[in-house]
Amino acid sequence: MPRVSHHGELHKLNLPRNSTLFSATPETYWSHFEEISKYNVHLNVFERLWVAWYAFMQNDVLATGIMSFVMHEVVYFGRALPWILIDTLGLFKKYKIQDNKIPTLKEQWECARLVLLSHFTVELPQIWLFHPMAQYFGLTTTVPFPSLWTMAYQIAIFFVMEDTWHYFLHRALHWGPLYKAIHKIHHQYSAPFGLAAEYASPIEVMLLGFGTVGCPILWCAFTGDLHILTMYIWIVLRLFQAIDAHSGYEFPWSLHHFLPFWAGADHHDVHHEKFIGNFASSFRWWDFVLDTEYTPESVKRWREKKAEKVAKKAN
């Protein structure tokens, strides 16, 4: 980590040995930032803010844990807030996919309560374990940050990896016993809304969460090349994708109009309404290739196949 209190990491920053960063007297965050900026003009402002945070905290696990949890909560509820306002104020109603099913404030509040409970009881303990796990698999946490190109291509790979994990696990969760025991709670709302993206049982939260966190860590284990900042940006984008997919709104400017293989809200909304098909998270290709994309033609085909199986058993 970029904690400059570790003398063994002084080669990463230009700091004098008698720097106040190493004093036993408690310092403010901004005093650390000023000290680092004074001797490390080659770092950009974001890198200095990053290093100052770890220097101020003096505990890598705590620093990463607080930053990760706060980031998750701010992004999740911050991204869901516009959808709450849109539903409450009746804005863009003509773009609502299931326009006869607008979530009430009571439903939104009940959903928020369960999501918060899940965040504090299920996700928070995992977040505290994230830093030791990240260190074990070799995630980089020092400065300078990776290039934009490096972060971009790695995040693109993570989207593909997570989508694959999500598709097959999500499809498995629709098998009778698993659906009743684990996945049923997520389908409480047949017309999804943004806040409901992480409205799920604790087991499902952990299983699907592995795709978001585990896939990048597997990448790092095999390549040895991943910065924790890339992880953070990836998680932010994944949260945006999940919340928007559950928004219940289809706009002319929705991303899938420009990227035909992107799933989006129209793809996932049908899954909640019909309870079958459209299992993928970000992309449409697994549903297309494995014939699980919900269309009138596919429904007819599924029914014919089911009838054939019943007829064979009868014979």
What average pLDDT does the chain have?
Answer: 88
Annotated domain spans of the chain? 7-57, 63-314
Least confident of 49-58, 86-95, 129-138, 231-240: 129-138
For residue 262, the cross-strand partners are: 283
For residue 133, pLDDT over 90 is answered with no
**Please, where are the H alpha helices in the chain?**
29-39, 45-57, 60-89, 105-118, 124-137, 148-173, 176-178, 202-223, 228-245, 264-274, 285-289, 296-314
For residue 4, pLDDT over 60 is answered with no
- Alpha-carbon dihedral of residues 292, 293, 299, 303, nearest 10 degrees? -10
Q: Which two tokens stand for residue 184?
A: 């049923």
Query: Of 4, 7, 63, nearest to 39 (Cα)?
Result: 4
- Encode pLDDT of 210-245 as tens digits: 999 999 999 999 999 999 999 999 999 999 999 999
Question: Rounded to two decimals, what is the model's pTM?
Answer: 0.88
246 φ/ψ angles, rounded to the nearest 5 degrees: -95, 5
**How confident is residue 132, by pLDDT bands cut at 50, 70 and 90?**
confident
Q: Quick one: pLDDT at residue 66?
A: 94
